[in-house]
Structure formats: C-alpha cells, structure tokens
C-alpha cells in the first residue's frame, strides 16, 4: 500500500478534541509517523455514530441511563504534503461549528522506526444558533501537540502509537485533555488490512476529571491505487464520569 494513501478518523467518537486534527494516518483513530510526500493531497469525508444507554460513575461502575443517547457526525479532512517530512491539514464537521488545523513533522526515521511531532488547534467557525452562541463560542478554542511512534515489523505487520496533550479554553467541565492510543495492523493481502486499536483519554481540571478506555477493531480496504475505505467499531471498556457505548466509524480517502 502506498504511504500517501492515508486515513485518520478524528476522535469525535468520544471527545471532539482528542488529538491533533487534520493530520494523516494509516489505520483508524491512531495517526502514523509518516507524512504525505511533497505535493501529495488527501481529501477524506468520514462518518460516525455513537450509541449509549449506560454511564460510568466516578468509581468506574456502569449504570443504566433512563434515556438512550445517540449522536452522529459527518466530518471532512484535507491534508497537503509540503515537504517529504512535513504536512499540514485541516478538518471540519458538516455543521461548521469548529475548524481544526494541524501539522506533522517526521523528525527521525531509522530503519523500520519513525518518530514525529504534531501540533495544531481548533477555533470556532461561527455556525451557532442565536441561543447557543454566547454559551458555546468560548468552548471552541484549543491547542494540542502529540508525539507519534511508528514501527514496521514486516511487510504485513505494523504498529503506531500516540500520546497527545490538549489545552482547552472556556470549557466548564475541564481544561486539560490527555489522549493515548496504540494500533496494530496486519495485511491479509495487498488490499485488505485488519486493524486493532486501544484508545483512551483523560480530562481534568482542579475539581473534575473523567477518563475512558476503548477497543477499536476495524478493516482498511484499498480498492484502487488512490482510494481507500476504512470502517470499524469502537467498544468502551472502562471509564469514569463518561458514557459507555458503542461507535461505528467509517471514512473514504481520496489521494491525489
């Protein structure tokens, strides 16, 4: 599979600001250390559904809610390779409430191991109703940075790992967010890759915290040289002060 055929599903499934937005990846929610080649371009629409009727309390016990929570989101990513080791990108949802920007710099590749730094942020796009504007506009500013490690064990097996931090301005619930994820991919053939990811996040401020760990199995299918389809299911395993649920995620990447 070409390195420039990439996919990143923004972690809107659990937290909108879970990691740096607008950067490329090769699996599901975890980006990889590689960057798009100079002059290469990605356009990626993605879709997710989250469904929950249980909630993790402060002690990690899952309790059933009276009402079922369900939400969906359509998002778009655009990423451009400026140099062979540097890319920039943006992402936004169909309702245009906020826009994410990000960049990734591959600063070291040694053999089958690569390391990258990613930085970015989000800002409000102004698409609020009159009643929501005053309350929500201050919730949309953030900045993030991430450290990414990728390791290729063979032509069929690869690993990507990420640790990121986000500072969020204006949210009532929390000011800081840590995101961490690990992903293993195995190619059955040149077109189909099986993926298993472990994803987690923690939020906190002086008086509140929440956290959650989820598992995300999925498949990537490259059905042409410049087109890639990805889909997966995310199941929450454990958490505090967060809903427990199941998410469906899918994306279609077009590379130029």
Q: How far apart are CA 58 and CA 66, in angstroms?
A: 18
pLDDT per residue as tens digits for the range 139-175:
568 889 999 999 999 999 999 999 999 988 866 567 8
Q: What is the pTM of this model?
A: 0.86
Tell me how many degrees the CA angle 165-171-176 measures, rounded to the nearest 5.
Answer: 20
Q: How far apart are CA 34 and CA 213, in angstroms?
A: 25
How confident is residue 124, by pLDDT bands cut at 50, 70 and 90? Answer: confident
CA–chain centroid gap for 192, Å, is 21
The more confident residue out of 18 and 169 is: 169
pLDDT per residue as tens digits for the range 182-218:
999 999 998 999 999 999 999 888 767 899 999 999 9
Mean pLDDT (the chain, rounded):
85
DSSP per-residue string spanning 135-177: HHGGGSEEEEEEEEEEEE-SSSEEEEEEEEEEEEES-SS-SEE
Which pLDDT score is estimated for 185? 97
Q: Is 14 left (phi over 0), alpha (psi -120 to 50) or beta?
A: alpha
2 has a pLDDT exceeding 70? no
% of the chain residues with pLDDT over 70? 84
129 has a pLDDT exceeding 50? no
Q: How far apart are CA 77 and CA 164, in angstroms?
A: 19
Token pair for residue 220?
């990537």
How confident is residue 126, by pLDDT bands cut at 50, 70 and 90? Answer: low
Which pLDDT score is estimated for 205? 81
- Structural domains of the chain, ranges and CATH numbers in brackets: 41-255 (2.40.160.40)
């Amino acid at each position: 599979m070409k390195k420039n055929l990439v996919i990143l599903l923004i972690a809107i499934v659990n937290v909108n600001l879970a990691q740096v937005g607008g950067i490329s990846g090769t699996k599901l929610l975890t980006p990889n250390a590689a960057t798009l080649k100079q002059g290469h371009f990605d356009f990626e629409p993605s879709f997710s559904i989250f469904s929950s009727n249980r909630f993790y309390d402060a002690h990690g016990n899952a309790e059933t809610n009276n009402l079922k929570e369900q939400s969906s989101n359509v998002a778009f990513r655009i990423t451009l390779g400026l140099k062979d080791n540097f890319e920039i990108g943006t992402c936004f949802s169909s309702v245009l409430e906020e826009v994410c920007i990000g960049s990734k710099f591959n600063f070291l590749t040694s053999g089958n191991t690569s390391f990258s730094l990613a930085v970015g942020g989000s800002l409000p796009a102004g698409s609020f109703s009159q009643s929501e504007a005053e309350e929500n506009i201050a919730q949309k500013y953030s900045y993030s940075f991430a450290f990414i490690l990728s390791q290729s064990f063979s032509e069929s097996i690869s690993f990507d790992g990420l640790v990121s931090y986000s500072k969020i301005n204006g949210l009532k619930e929390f000011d800081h967010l840590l995101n961490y994820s690990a992903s293993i991919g195995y190619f059955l053939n040149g077109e189909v890759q099986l993926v298993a990811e472990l994803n987690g996040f923690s939020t906190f401020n002086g008086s509140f915290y929440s956290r959650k760990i989820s598992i995300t199995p999925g498949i990537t299918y490259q059905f042409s040289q410049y087109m890639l389809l990805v889909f997966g299911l995310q199941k929450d395993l454990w958490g505090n002060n967060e809903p427990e649920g199941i998410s469906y995620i899918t994306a279609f990447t077009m590379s130029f």
